[in-house]
Amino acid sequence: MLLPRRLLRPRLAFLNLHFCRLLLGFGLLYGLAVNWARARSWRDPTSAFFAEDKAYEPAYSVQRGEQANAFLEHANNNTLPLHFQTKVSAHPTICVGITSVARRGANYLQGAVGSVLEGLTAAERGDLYLIVLIAHSNPAEHPAYVEPWLHTLADKVLLYDPDRVDVEHIRELETPEAKSFAREKGLLDYIYLLRACESVNTSYTVMLEDDVIALDGWYHRTKNALSLAEQQTIEEGVDKWLYLRLFYTEQFLGWNSEEWPAYLLFSLLAALGVVAIATAIRHCRPATTAYLPNEIIALLAFVMTPLLIILFFAAGRITMLSIPAGVHEMPKFGCCSQGLVFPQSRIGDLVSWYESKRAGYVDMLTEIYADENNEIRWALTPSVLQHVGSKSSKTNTPGDHKHRLTVSETIWNFMFEENDMEQLRREHKQQAEAEI
């Protein structure tokens, strides 16, 4: 018995040409897109293409560290420009406080101080009051304390004043047996330095950890960001904000599991949108009906579109939805305490809060305070600081998901390493000329 011709050659025969061409073309384009994502997203820790073995390699921070070291050599040899010898002006607007604890096998303080100061103009240096706290009951235990550059460059080398702190208690916290060393002494040091900056009566206080590198031009970028923060705070109808963040790591800014309903909704809308657009085209232009049968529309909406959505998420949030340059709110996931700027008016509130807690990590306590009081927290993008410390004063335990790195080493701003030394120098020069 012969079967009808229409059964021998079903409608799907149409797909032999158009279906295969569409699949082939999409496959080629999709392969190119995957290669683009791999080349573009290897520094993005939120991406499936993140290359851990390369992404943590320092680039610009090494160059900036060399500039900082060369600057310190000039300080030791007394060959600095005059404005670094006269130091601060009579009316600075920013106090920069750095707390430093000696770490066995590492000395980060010179990189922090050198990079904060190197390249500053006379006006910028005069606008800045630098305090370095040597956080030891016996300051000679810190290798930098006996080095000439520290006393040459800092406006004040802060030591423990027996009239202000319980030095005997500090000694107890310095012992190996003091398990709460980081949580209690670290907070005590932070409070002590905040108060020292508060007494200078500057408009803002920049609190830095000693294992950071500041990029060339960090100061004018921070000043501009502070102006924007003040302006945006007023525009939001409030009269105060808590801090401006100068450093954050992108690894906590990825696709958040608690937002999966929104991701699912937009993905469904994208697929339905493809169906709607294809159907509308077929309806408005009947000539396209032969090219847009239901099978093709289903392929576009429920195979190709999901594959593109998967690639979108795999490429990483930092790559696909990058944070624009400037000042923006960062109420969540803003790790860590490497560089925070506080308005003078907020220091008293924070000190009282820290003292009420007695012990704890500064970054966590600050976020708890901000959450409980509905405080605005600003962040500067791109980051003007890099965390370079591999030996933390808190912990050096290996990370759960980065077995070859310590927890401290994973605190890293990946975009910082893309900075161009010459471009930053030109930007800094242009900014200085514009202010003359």
Instruction: Please tell me the distance from the alpha carbon of residue 80 to that of residue 306, in angstroms, as a whole number.
Output: 60
Number of Cα atoms under 13 Å in the Cβ half of residue 34? 9
Whole-number pLDDT of residue 390: 64
pLDDT band, very low/low/confident/very high, at 389 (cuts 50, 70, 90): confident
Structure tokens at 26: 């999409």
Same domain, 124 and 263: no
CA torsion angle for 389, 393, 396, 397 (degrees, to 10)? -140
Residue 234: which domain range?
A: 60-253+322-435
Residue 48 domain flag: no
pLDDT at residue 94 is higher than 80: yes
Same domain, 108 and 142: yes
Residue 49 domain flag: no
pLDDT at residue 4 is higher than 50: no
Same domain, 182 and 204: yes
Contact, 2 vs 279, CB < 8 A? no
Instruction: Please tell me the distance from the alpha carbon of residue 250 to that of residue 264, in angstroms, as a whole number.
Output: 23
For tokens 């994502």, what's the residue?
A: 37
Contact, 413 vs 385, CB < 8 A? yes
Cβ burial of 246 (10 Å; 0-12, 13-18, 19+) is: buried
| Overall domain count for the chain | 2
Give the DSSP letter of residue 304: I
Structure tokens at 39: 């080349």
Structure tokens at 386: 């890099």
Whole-number pLDDT of residue 180: 55
For tokens 């820790």, what's the residue?
A: 45
pLDDT band, very low/low/confident/very high, at 408 (cuts 50, 70, 90): confident
Residue 64 domain flag: yes
pLDDT: is 414 or 395 the higher one? 414
Tens of pLDDT, residue by residue over 213-259, are 999 999 999 999 999 999 999 988 888 899 999 999 998 888 988 88
- At 109, which CATH number? 3.90.550.10
User: % helix / strand / coil in the chain, to the nearest 5?
Assistant: 55, 10, 35
**At residue 112, what is the residue type?**
A
Same domain, 328 and 303: no
The residues that bridge with 380 in the sheet, in sequence order, are: 327
**Helical axes 60-76 vs 421-435, angle rounded to 10°:** 60
Strands 212-214 and 385-387: antiparallel
Tens of pLDDT, residue by residue over 100-151, are 999 887 789 999 999 999 999 999 999 999 999 999 999 999 999 999 999 9
Whole-number pLDDT of residue 114: 97
Tens of pLDDT, residue by residue over 169-206, are 999 888 876 655 578 899 999 999 999 999 999 999 99
Whole-number pLDDT of residue 82: 87
List the end-to-end C-alpha distance of the chain, in Å, as a whole number. Answer: 97
Whole-number pLDDT of residue 386: 97
